[in-house]
């Protein structure tokens, strides 16, 4: 039974010296066999396990995580949430996620701190203006909120913004999605883990998958792990930057490249920054956490790598852009920077679906922008694994599109797709 959080339970525990809180999830030994195993204990994997149990009645499931849950990109990202993607397929997928974000804390009985503070994307060139206005129209046709702001309106929405025409790349306007915002990344992993555990899902940390076994018919039969062999007829690979490594264990070659992507945070200061601002052209994105730190995202390295850190010139370039756009931050100190490995597809859209290997399912290719999709991705992937057929929302996001040419080319649409 999951211990429920409420104002009353918080008061009760506070007066009892905070004794009696249950651990959020168990630490079970792996069983010899499950109906399904999920490889990867990030938000997408844990969410998939939760929806498999909550909506499809599959309780005999394990999430296998080689480190600690949320220690991958889920715990390393800058938490920007938005759904104003250009193409119909993407808008449907990301807006499905956004609608789930809006009710997620209540659904999980866990505060994921979703904050719809607005995501503003700056236009600095005529090309940017045309692209973002096209996005605004396309989004509205799909029922997704997005509006065009002049430079003055952008400054009114985000007062620290420098809209001087003397800038090397002056701000010519912005697209604003008011329902966009941020959420607390760790809480997303913990909230899904706690709710999935309460439904009987085994969350097994420090358990690296080292091989995938297949039977005579080619179907998956088991995984080898650092904690022994685990049999399962359904295996979901949700391993983000290491998806190609895991898929290769089943003999599958994927159209993915893995790059380090970096982020950094400043010392904490009082609330000064009311929204999320992104600039694809000068390449910087920034918000302020509830703790007060400026959370800043840099770009990917130019070369593939699994190092989980990147070149120093990449965040240095981002900080140049931040200082020009927000001169008041010039004297702030940066406290930490880090990297995560992102798995990018040629069209910068994810792959969610079945594979040519029976029983093996893929949820990957989220690149630099999968956190925002976490609940939607997990929800449709659970459907796909449970029913062995795609949910209508993820049906276009096949692996086969790279063979057949039905790309969902958000890379060309937005230049970057954070």
Q: Which residues of the chain form contacts with ligand FAD (CB under 6 A)?
A: 39-45, 64-67, 71-74, 76-80, 208-209, 238-240, 242, 246, 261-263, 297, 340, 342, 366, 368-372, 418
Between 163 and 242, CB nearer to ligand FAD: 242
Cα Rg of the chain, angstroms: 21
Between 167 and 304, CB nearer to ligand FAD: 304
Least Å from the CB of residue 83 to ligand FAD? 10
Between 53 and 246, CB nearer to ligand FAD: 246
Least Å from the CB of residue 14 to ligand FAD? 32
Closest alpha carbon to 173 in 195, 148, 146, 137: 148
DSSP calls for 97-135 = HHHHHHHHHHHHTS----B---EEEEE-SHHHHHHHHHH
Paired with 264 in beta bridges are 296, 337
Distance CA 234, CA 35 (A): 7
Between 262 and 289, CB nearer to ligand FAD: 262
Could you give the angle at the alpha carbon of 74 between the alpha carbons of 70 and 79, nearest 5°? 140
Q: Please, what's the b/e burial string for 328-353 (b: 16 or more CB within 10 A of its CB; e: otherwise)?
A: ebeebeeeebbbbbbbbbebbbbbbb
Which H or E run contains 278? Answer: strand 276-279
Distance CA 36, CA 52 (A): 9
* Angle at which helices 374-387 and 43-56 cross, to 10°: 50
Residue 23 is given by DSSP the state P
Residue 297 vs residues 77, 85, 283: alpha-carbon distances, Å: 8, 19, 9
Between 163 and 247, CB nearer to ligand FAD: 247
201, 382 in Cβ contact below 8 A? no
Between 326 and 366, CB nearer to ligand FAD: 366
Least Å from the CB of residue 359 to ligand FAD? 17
Three-class SS state of 58: coil
Which H or E run contains 325? Answer: helix 313-325
Least Å from the CB of residue 150 to ligand FAD? 26
Between 76 and 391, CB nearer to ligand FAD: 76
Least Å from the CB of residue 366 to ligand FAD? 4
Between 70 and 173, CB nearer to ligand FAD: 70
């Amino acid at each position: 039974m999951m211990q429920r959080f409420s104002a009353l339970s918080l008061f009760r525990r506070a007066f009892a010296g905070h004794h009696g809180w249950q651990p959020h999830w168990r630490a079970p030994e792996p069983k010899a066999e499950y109906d399904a195993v999920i490889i990867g204990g990030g938000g997408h994997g844990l969410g998939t396990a939760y929806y498999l149990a909550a909506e499809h009645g599959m309780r005999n499931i394990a999430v296998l995580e080689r480190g600690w849950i949320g220690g991958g990109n889920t715990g390393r990202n800058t938490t920007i949430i938005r759904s104003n993607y250009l193409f119909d397929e993407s808008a449907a997928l990301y807006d499905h996620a956004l609608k789930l974000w809006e009710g997620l804390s209540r659904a999980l009985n866990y505060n994921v701190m979703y904050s719809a503070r607005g995501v503003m994307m700056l236009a600095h060139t005529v090309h940017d203006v045309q692209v973002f206005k096209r996005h605004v129209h396309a989004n509205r046709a799909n029922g997704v909120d997005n509006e065009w702001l002049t430079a003055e309106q952008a400054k009114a929405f985000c007062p620290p913004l420098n809209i001087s025409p003397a800038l090397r790349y002056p701000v010519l306007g912005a697209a604003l999605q008011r329902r966009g915002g941020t959420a607390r990344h760790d809480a997303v992993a913990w909230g899904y883990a706690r709710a999935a555990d309460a439904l009987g899902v085994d969350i097994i940390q420090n358990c690296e998958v080292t091989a995938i076994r297949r039977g005579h018919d080619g179907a998956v039969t088991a995984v080898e792990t650092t904690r022994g062999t685990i049999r399962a007829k359904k295996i979901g690979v949700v391993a983000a930057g290491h998806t190609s490594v895991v898929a290769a264990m089943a003999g599958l070659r994927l159209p993915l490249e893995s790059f380090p992507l970096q982020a950094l945070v400043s010392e904490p200061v009082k609330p000064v920054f009311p929204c999320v601002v992104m600039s694809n052209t000068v390449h910087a994105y920034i918000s302020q956490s509830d703790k007060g730190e400026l959370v800043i995202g840099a770009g990917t390295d130019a070369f593939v790598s699994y190092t989980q850190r990147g070149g120093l010139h990449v965040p240095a370039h981002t900080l140049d852009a931040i200082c020009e756009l927000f001169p008041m931050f010039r004297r702030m100190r940066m406290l930490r920077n880090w990297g995560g490995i992102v798995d990018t597809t040629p069209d910068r859209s994810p792959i969610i679906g079945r594979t040519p290997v029976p029983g093996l399912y893929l949820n990957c290719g989220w690149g630099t922008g999968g956190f925002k999709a976490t609940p939607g991705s997990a929800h449709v992937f659970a459907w796909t694994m449970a029913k062995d057929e795609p949910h209508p929302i993820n049906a276009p996001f096949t692996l086969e599109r790279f063979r057949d040419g039905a790309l969902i080319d958000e890379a060309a649409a937005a230049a970057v797709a954070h």
